[in-house]
Amino acid sequence: MKIIIIGGERVPYFLAKRLIAQGYDVYFVNKDQDSCEEYSKTLNATIVNGDGTSKKVLDQLGIEPNDIVVLLMKRDRKNFFIARLVQEYYGVKNVVTLLNNSENLDLFERFGIRTLGVTDLIMRNLEPLLFGSQLTRDLEEKTFSKGVVVLEITLTWDSSIVHKKIKELSVPEDVVIVGIMRGDSFLIPRGETTLEPGDEIILVCREEKRMEVLSFFSS
């Protein structure tokens, strides 16, 4: 089984390095001569300088049905064209393509072409961050002019309350810990929850307690 990577710039290089390290037989097709020359100096792979949309170029690869084809062209229409080409002419079953525009997803799925959506990939990493910010804004709207404030406090490595359970803390009165952002996760705080460095704590307190709360969680 071969893994054939068509198109792309820097991504194919690092992808190939990992695949080769795992013992896979990697083939490159790229129109950019400079990229091909660079790859040939540092990678133990078969490299073809040519247009991946050309059947004449693809014929040089000896493509077989059990090969995996990875498409990294900048335009979805080119990725789709090549995907259908290798499916129809070489019987390839496993095609993975970069999806630049999520509106084209249905078209690729209709023909059994696996996709890696750039937008979806970014959003999966952004959503946990956006969720915490949105929660804070929603709370601020609900509590506006009601004598309470919403605070976000990030715990540092030298904070006196890290590595302690919430139930062990002498939290000031009239303070509610609403949630904790930890990396990509949102935690609902419990008494048994242990605070860690880097945790972003979202809490609500009375206006007059602001400075006391900031001092307590930032010390």
pLDDT value of residue 79 = 94
Whether the per-residue pLDDT at 29 is higher than 60: the answer is: yes
Three-state SS letters, the chain? CEEEEECCCHHHHHHHHHHHHCCCEEEEEECCHHHHHHHHHHCCCEEEECCCCCHHHHHHHCCCCCCEEEECCCCHHHHHHHHHHHHHHHCCCEEEEEECCHHHHHHHHHCCCEEEEHHHHHHHHHHHHHHHHHHHHHHHHHHCCCCEEEEEEECCCCCCCCCCEHHHCCCCCCEEEEEEEECCEEECCCCCCECCCCCEEEEEEEHHHHHHHHHHHHC
Last residue of a domain, one of 86, 112, 138: 112
Q: 217 pLDDT exceeds 90?
A: no
Q: What is the CATH number of the domain that holds 57?
A: 3.40.50.720
Q: Report pLDDT for 111.
A: 94
Who wins on pLDDT, 134 or 35? 35
Predicted local confidence at residue 27, as pLDDT: 95
Whole-angstrom distance, CA of residue 16 vs CA of residue 214? 49
Same domain, 93 and 161: no
Residue 49's domain spans which residues?
2-112
- In this structure, the answer to whether residues 17 and 90 fall within a common structural domain is yes
Has residue 123 been placed in a domain?
Answer: no
pLDDT in tens, 63-73: 999 999 999 99
Asked whether residue 162 is domain-assigned, the answer is: yes
Total domains in the fold of the chain: 2
pLDDT tens per residue, range 38-62:
888 888 999 999 999 999 999 999 9
Q: What is the CATH number of the domain that holds 190?
A: 3.30.70.1450
Residue 9 sits in the same domain as residue 107? yes
Question: pLDDT (tens digit, 9 = 90+) per residue, 142-191?
Answer: 666 677 888 888 888 888 899 999 999 988 888 888 888 888 788 888 88
Q: Is residue 117 part of a domain?
A: no
Q: Which residues contact 63 (CB under 8 A, 6 or more apart)?
A: 2, 4, 69, 86, 90, 92
Q: How do residues 76-129 score in pLDDT, each as one tens digit? A: 999 999 999 999 999 999 999 988 888 898 999 999 999 987 666 655 655 555
Q: 134 and 72, same structural domain?
A: no
Q: Classify residue 77: in a domain, yes or no.
A: yes
pTM of the model: 0.58
Q: Kindly state whether residues 101 and 136 are assigned to the same domain.
A: no
* Other Cβ atoms within 10 Å of 56 Cβ, number: 8
